[in-house]
Each structure stands twice: as C-alpha cells, then as structure tokens.
Structure 1
Amino acid sequence: MFPAGPTYVQDDKRESLELAPLAHVHDEYDSRPMASSSAFQSGKPSMFNDKTFQDDTVENSTEVFEEDPLETVEYPDGGWKAYSTVAASLLGLICAFGIMNSTGAIESYLEKNTLKTIPTTTISWIFAIYTFLSFGGNLFSGALFDTYGAKKVAVPGAVLLCGGLLATASCTQVWQFVLSFGVCCGIGCALLMAPMVSCIAHFFKQKRGLALGIAMPGASIGGVIWPLVCNSLYPKIGFPWTMRVLGFIFMGILTTSCLLINDRLDEISNQTSSKSSVWAKVKESIDFKTLKDPVYLILVGALFMNEFSLILCFTYIPSYALDKGYSESFSLIALTVVNASGVGGRYLPSHLSDAYGRFNMILAMSAIATFAVLVLWLPFGKYKPAFVIFCIVYGFATAATLALTPLCTSQISKAKDFGKRYGTAYFFVSFGNLICIPIGIALTKTSAGYNGMLAFAGAGSFCSTLLFVLARYKLAKFTWKAV
C-alpha cells in the first residue's frame, strides 16, 4: 500500500538519478517505506542457475551497479534545506499514508451509523475508489513532481485532502461520500505521495538511508494516531465534527509540511533529465514489454494477489470486530495494533534480507501473513486474545511484504529500468485495489458471512505466497542461497 523510496546503494558503486523521478511510483499502505540504506544492493549474477532464465534476465540484473561517468550532481547530505525536507516528508506522510491506513476506522462507523440502511457492497465503493485513485494517481503525481517540483504538487494535494475531509463531514448520501472522500481525498493523497517521498533523493546520497529511515515511519505513525483520534472523538462529538477536527489538524500539519518542503529540480533536471512533457513522463513510467521477463511477470502476479488480500483485510478489520460483538472502541484499537506492529515489519525483515535474500524473506513474510489469516483469524477470530495475536502477526508480516517489494523488484532490474518496472507493476496492482473491496464485502452477504470474506482473502494471500515461491525457484531452484 506504500510507495518505494529512491534507490540507494551503500557501497556507492552506483547512484542512478534516473530512479529519483520514478521511485515514487506506487508502494504502500504504503509504503512502501524502505528500511535499509543498502536497500537496493543486488545479488550476484551467480545466483542464476537456469540458463534460459539467465538469457532473459541477466541483462536486467548484472548491470545495476556500473559506474556512471556522466553523473555530476553533488548532494549536500545535510544542512537546513535537506533536513527541513526530511521533516516535511515525515509530516506529509503522517497525513497522506496515515489516513490511508485508517480507512477502516471511517468505513466501520459509516456502515453501522450514517449509512446503516445502505448495502455494505455499495458503501465499499467509496473506499475502493479512494484506494484506486491514491495508488493509481501516483503515475501522474510523479510526472508532475518531475516537471513542476515539490511545492507546486504538494500544495494542491494538501488542499484536496483537507477539503475532502471537511466535505466528508457534511455528507449523508453515498454519492456525496464518493466525491468527497473517494475522489477528493484520493487525488489529494496521490498528489502528496510523490513529492513527500521523492524530494529526499534530491538532497541525500551517502545519508539517504538515514533520511528515509526518519521520514518513512510517518506512514505507521499516522496509522496509529488517527484511529485513536476517531475512537476518542466519535462518542463525544459525533462523526461530522470528528472529520472536521481531522481536517483542521491535517490543515496545520500539511501547511507546515508544504512550507518546509524543498527540491533541487532545476539543478538536477538541467544535468540529468530530459525536458519531456508530463504526459510523456507518465508514458515512460509504464513499459509492458518488461513483462517478457518471466521472473518479473511472476513477481507482478504475486504483488497483485498480495495487495488484493491485504487491502481487503486492512479495510474490514474494524467491521469484522463489530460483527463479532466487540465494542466500537476495541475495533478501532485493533486497527491501531495492526499499524503499530507494522513499524517493526517495515524495517527488521528488510535489514535481514541483506544477509538472507530479498525473495527468501518476502516469501517467508507472505507465508506468515497467510498463516495469520487462515489459521489465526478465520477459525479463532471470535476469541478476543486470538484476534489481538492475529493483528500483531498480520500487521508485522504485511508491512514486511510492502517494504520488501521494491527490494525484490530492484534485484531483477537494471537501475535505469527500476522506475518503469515498479510503475508497471503498480499499474496492474491499482486495478486489483479497485475491485477487491467490493468483491470481498459481497462475500459477507452470503451464508458464510465474514468467514467467506476471510477465506477469500486467505486464498489470495496463499496464491501470492505460491507465486513468490515460483519466482524464487526461477532464480535459484531449490538451492539454499540468499536470493
């Protein structure tokens, strides 16, 4: 659910400025925060055992770290502008990704109160459209950032997000919620993501891992804070004023963020980037020809199924809790627990992947997520202790898969192709995000109820794990290698 940060190589064998304009193309939920300053160190070519696969893929995997003699841009790696930009990114992500990770807190209230007479399947389209625009819109916001810089993209995004929340407060019908929250907030979040993530690449090189490590936790911080705010305010001032309070808080935070954010677009574009149009840059972000690479194609399928499952689960954890008789307060706390446990999930597995392999780690985390849904949540979710354990395990595992996604993509990509490959992958994933919520919630209206939805989500996660295993097999068969 969260976008990847820009490429950074610890040994400084390669610094590809071509990635900076494209690395914001969507990560999630989120992230998709990057945990390690050595995040994009690729594996050695010797990991390829299959000659056929090697012929198809070695071109993308072995040239990542060739020295670029044309690079002349110097990075300050410190100073007021650099660190104020990191602070701006942190604040912006607290709002943009924070509200994205808290949609369950809004959905559960609408389902039980404001829109209680409306079919749940209809309500789900509010959040499906929001998710689709938030992720899919990154292709356009990235191109806008490359062309106009951070402030000119972040300010309209902040206005749309804050305005959308204030408008949501006054909504009473589904179409109003679709326009205010689904469309307005969705586009606002999309516009904020690109500048908030990519601006750091303009100021940091040697310390980029540190800078990203400071900024990216904003996604989880927001995911923890905003459900707690809703939980506290709903019974006291009701839904309309809770949304207004959120809107005013966001207004203050994002105003500070927009004032602090900077970029070095003129200097970098003059030395490294073409003067192509916004639409040309959007088209450059997607390359369907790259699907000819078999491992990349399998990875795209795995990412599609992974996000299909996790967005469904994240959105309806509070609704499930209410359906099982838990209090509204507990249902929002459960969502907070999922987001809080994701803080460790974003970083520890990414660091371990340097030693144990990115594909090894992501398939392990996907397997744990599948276990959490099918073994912990599905049969035992009606018991509160088991449900809490599920939230902890699932939050950690899914956050890990999101953080490891850009690392796996980079491992089988040339540096210059990473942005296109990442953008192409999430072009497909965003359409899965559009349909997964309505399909999943429709299953709750069958005789199986929420158990039907959980089985569906678990099956999606299981398919994702199998595809990760297949991708890993294509890379190194069943050998014990760090792949």
Structure 2
Amino acid sequence: MASTSSHPVQVQHELDQVHTSSITPNVVTTSTSKARSDPFQQTTEFEIDPDTLEDIDNNEYPEGGTKAYLTVFGSFMGLIPAFGFLNSIGAIQTYISEHQLADVSPTSISWIFSLFTFFLFASGIFSGSFFDHAGAVKPLVIGSILMCGGILATANANTVWEFVLSFGIVTGFGNGILLSPLVGVVAHYFKEKRATWTSAATTGGSVGGIIIPLILKKLYVEVGFAWALRILALIFAACLCIAVFLARERIKPETSEENTDFKTLFKIYVVHSFDYRYLFELKFVACALGVSFSEASLVTFTIYFPTYAIKRGFTEATAYTLITIMNTTGILGRYIPGYVADKWVGRFNVMIITVLGCCAASLCILLPFGGKIGALYAYAAIYGFLSGSVLSLPPVCCGQISKTEEFGKRYSTMYVLTSFTVLALVPIGGLIVGAGEIKDYNNFIIFTCCMFVVSVLCYFTSKTAVVGFRMCKF
C-alpha cells in the first residue's frame, strides 16, 4: 500500500523502526518503572518521541467516521460468503459423503477440501499484492465472479475430479482472492481500534456460518443439492455486490496499471507479492507458522466434525445444528476477544489463550464425552467461541509486526505458508479418520490438538522475539 505521508523523512524513519504497528501514543513507555507497575502495559523494544508518533498516527488513521463504518459494513457483508462458506464446508462434505461420493474413501474426499483450502489461502499471494497496487474493487469483482461461478459448477458435479475442479480449485481460488481486500480495507481506517473493528467485520463469517448450514439443510430436502447451491450462489452474489460498493481503501494506490505490459504486471502481482526475506525474520515466520497450524487445525476439524456426530449415532440434522451452534457463539468469539485484545491484554496474548482453550475443550469435553448429545452441544458452543479469534485476529497480529504499507505483501506471504500447511495436514486428517471408527476419530481429535499446541508455541516465539519474556500487553 503506497504511503501518502507528507511528514519529514527522518520522522518516518523513526516510525519504521517500531516493531509493531499497533502501539498507541498513550502506551509507549520510556520508563522501566512504569512498565513494572503495569504488567500488561504495551511495550516495544524501541523508544521514540510520543508526540511524534501521535502526530503521525492522528493524520494516518481517522479511527472512525461515516466512510470507515461503511467500509466495515461492506467488509462484513463480503465476509458472510467469504469466511462463512469456509466455516460451513462441513455441510458440503457431509452431504456429498452420504450421496454423490458415498462409495469413495474419506481420504479421497479429503483432497477436495484440502485443495479448496490450499487455493483459498494460496491465492493470497496474488490478492494481497493486487489489493496493494489496484485497490479493493478489482480483486473483489474477480473473486466474486470466480467464487459464484465455481459454486454453480459444483452444483452439477458428481465425481471426485468434478468436485476437485469446480469446488476445490475454482471456488477456492475465488474465495481466497476476496479475503485480502475485505480484511485489508479495515486496517486503512483504524489503528488503536484495529482488532476491535477487524473482529467486528469478520463476524460476518460467523453470521454466514450460521445461515449457510440452515439454508442448505432446508434446501437439500426441498429442491435437492444442485438447486440448493444455485440459490446459495445467488445469495452470495448479492452480499458481494454490497461489498464491492462499500468496502473501499482509504489510501489510494499511487501506481497505475494503464499502459503496463503483462510481464510487469506478472512481476507485481505474483513474483513480487512473495518476499522470501520475511522467512528469515523470526517474529514474522513464527507468527506465520502459528497462523498456519491453528487454521489447519480449525479447518480440518470443521470438515470432519459433522461426520463425527453422525458416526456417534446422531442425525444429519443434528450435525448441521452443531455447525450452526459453533458459528453462533463464534460471533461473540470474534468480537469479544478482539475488544479485550485492544483494551487490556494484547493481540498475541489473546491468540495464545484462545488457541490453548480450543485444545483444552477438545481434550476435556469432546474426547471423553463425545457420545452424549448434551456434551456435543456444550462443546460446539465453547469451541465456537474460542475458535472465533483463530480467523479474526491473524490479520491483526500480522499487522502488529508489519509496517502498514507492507501489510498486503506480508499478509499474502503468511498465507502462502498457511496454504501449504493446510494442503499437507488436511489429507493427513483424512488418513487418520480412515474407516471412520470411533477410535479413528479419537486419534483425529488428538491430532488437531497437537496442531493447536504447535501454534501456541509459534505465537509465543513470535511474541518473545519482539518483547522478550516480559509480561506485557502485546
């Protein structure tokens, strides 16, 4: 994202030395005694003039206003299909496993959803740079066409390879192109309240996760699979049209695509959108791996949780209800942790706490009591709340260790790592499920918990790379 700052170079240089982009003027500390008196005081390794930082921040981030709130609403509407569909893919997997692909092994079916999530995350290498250089409208239009077109093609699929091409590749790629601009535009307007408003926008994903399974559950029975997806594509198109008109960047790109040859555009949007140098930056690569393992665990679990409920003897309707419960509590789980992170605890600390909570809930509730319907409902509610921040806070964590003008490239680089992690781990989850016996699912639950533990260790490493082992708001 091009910088439009008119401040002197030396002042901008001071700002660039700050490790986190979320440090606010009233929490920059220059006294160690002050830091000791408040264990959750925001801290950084560098000291700069608070007045200088305040002057820059107040000019760069409006922190509100009509345009800012309309942008958040546009992002919210766009994320209903973009994140909501990701939260609801279990409703697709459950149906095709019982109908079109009933004779296909779980491992083979898992490749459909593994490729979907791979292309969803890998497309970030294109969409992040596209957003930085072209603004929000173009990637939103392209992503909307591909996603809705892919869903329409999926409606006619009957074999594994037809699902791979239509759902896994086309729908996944289109879905992924939408994410960077929908999340990135919010960061243009907020700094002190970035986690709060990013979380508010991403509650659209939970709203989508509530209504999509309910819509599919009803339409599967009334009109069948094909027309259910066609109607869903129409609903998605309406939501995405609102996003195209409202979700606009504040900092206009300085570069123009006019009279630019294909070779140059390819370098800008593909080659230059991934920066390998970030992989040698401990705080970034640890954060990226933390995101990769937590989202891989969440996606893998979301795919197989409905079939786990069916294997336990419950109906398909109950399985869809569990997805709805998870996404309902996920609304609070996206907003409340974001507010707490901004106000008191810090973004990385909240991520560590909530990811650990997901692991604990799986080990203490689902693993021993998964055969009881009450326990499943309780688990779905708790897990949905705790996992809400797994999807809402990673962009904010990435922004906290990035300069604003580099956010798109670093965000896309982070999700390239995530895409390959998911591509490897989702099929492994399918292999562990195997024949689908209860003991196989129990091993699968332990596998997802192990991924969460690795994620926590990575987030902690990223945090300590910036602030050391101090207890502080970060």
Residue 274 of structure 2 aligns to which amino acid in structure 1? I
Relative distance call for 1:63 and 1:133 in structure 2 (3 A) is farther
Question: Secondary structure of the equivalent of 2:97?
Answer: helix
Partner of 1:437: 426
Report the alpha carbon displacement of residue 148 of structure 1 after superposing the two structures with TM. 3.5
C-alpha contact 1:162 1:185 (8 A) present in aligned 2: yes
Aligned partner of 1:368 among 357, 373, 382: 357
Partner of 1:459: 450
C-alpha contact 1:363 1:468 (8 A) present in aligned 2: yes
Q: Aligned partners of 2:126 and 2:448: how far apart in 1?
A: 30
C-alpha contact 2:125 2:273 (8 A) present in aligned 1: yes
Residue 307 of structure 1 aligns to which amino acid in structure 2? E
C-alpha contact 2:200 2:334 (8 A) present in aligned 1: no
C-alpha contact 1:40 1:407 (8 A) present in aligned 2: no
C-alpha contact 1:77 1:206 (8 A) present in aligned 2: no
Q: Aligned partners of 1:325 and 1:260: how far apart in 2?
A: 45
C-alpha contact 2:63 2:192 (8 A) present in aligned 1: no
Greater Cα offset, 416-425 or 383-392? 416-425
Partner of 1:3: none
Greater Cα offset, 444-453 or 225-234? 444-453
Partner of 2:331: 343
Aligned partner of 1:117 among 103, 120, 126: 103
What does 1:215-294 align with in structure 2 at a 5 Å threshold? 215-260=201-246, 262=248, 267-269=252-254, 277=265, 279-294=267-282
Partner of 2:366: 377
Aligned partner of 2:378 among 382, 385, 389: 389
C-alpha contact 1:108 1:318 (8 A) present in aligned 2: yes
Residue 299 of structure 2 aligns to which amino acid in structure 1? I
Q: How many residues align?
A: 439
Relative distance call for 1:415 and 1:195 in structure 2 (3 A) is closer
Whether 1:311 and 2:299 are equivalent positions in the alignment is yes
Partner of 2:317: 329
Relative distance call for 1:62 and 1:253 in structure 2 (3 A) is same
C-alpha contact 1:202 1:263 (8 A) present in aligned 2: yes
Aligned partner of 1:401 among 382, 390, 393: 390
Question: Secondary structure of the equivalent of 1:460?
Answer: helix
Q: Aligned partners of 1:133 and 1:479: how far apart in 2?
A: 38
Q: Aligned partners of 2:451 and 2:207: how far apart in 1?
A: 28
Which deviations, in whole Å up to 9, do the C-alpha atoms of 1:349-403 show, x marking residues without a partner? 2222342233332222121111012221122111111112211221222222333
Aligned partner of 1:166 among 152, 155, 158: 152
Q: What TM-score, normalized to structure 2? A: 0.80
Partner of 2:74: 88
Residue 363 of structure 1 aligns to which amino acid in structure 2? I
Q: Aligned partners of 2:12 and 2:310: how far apart in 1?
A: 49
Report the alpha carbon displacement of residue 239 of structure 1 after superposing the two structures with TM. 1.4
RMSD of equivalent CA atoms: 3.9
Which deviations, in whole Å up to 9, do the C-alpha atoms of 1:99-140 show, x marking residues without a partner? 111111100111111110011111111111111111110221
Relative distance call for 1:76 and 1:462 in structure 2 (3 A) is closer
**Which runs of no fewer than 5 residues in structure 1 stay unpaired?**
1-13, 20-37, 50-56
Whether 1:426 and 2:412 are equivalent positions in the alignment is no
C-alpha contact 2:366 2:376 (8 A) present in aligned 1: yes
Which deviations, in whole Å up to 9, do the C-alpha atoms of 1:418-454 show, x marking residues without a partner? 4444333222111111122211011111673211211
Relative distance call for 1:346 and 1:86 in structure 2 (3 A) is closer
Q: What TM-score, normalized to structure 1? A: 0.78
C-alpha contact 2:128 2:412 (8 A) present in aligned 1: no
Q: Aligned partners of 1:84 and 1:383: how far apart in 2?
A: 44
C-alpha contact 1:76 1:203 (8 A) present in aligned 2: yes
Which deviations, in whole Å up to 9, do the C-alpha atoms of 1:250-302 show, x marking residues without a partner? 2333344435555567x55279xxx9745325444433323333343333332
**Which runs of no fewer than 5 residues in structure 2 stay unpaired?**
1-10, 37-43
Q: Aligned partners of 2:316 and 2:383: how far apart in 1?
A: 21
C-alpha contact 1:295 1:474 (8 A) present in aligned 2: yes
Report the alpha carbon displacement of residue 198 of structure 1 after superposing the two structures with TM. 3.3
Question: Secondary structure of the equivalent of 2:292?
Answer: helix
Partner of 1:104: 90
Question: Secondary structure of the equivalent of 1:269?
Answer: coil
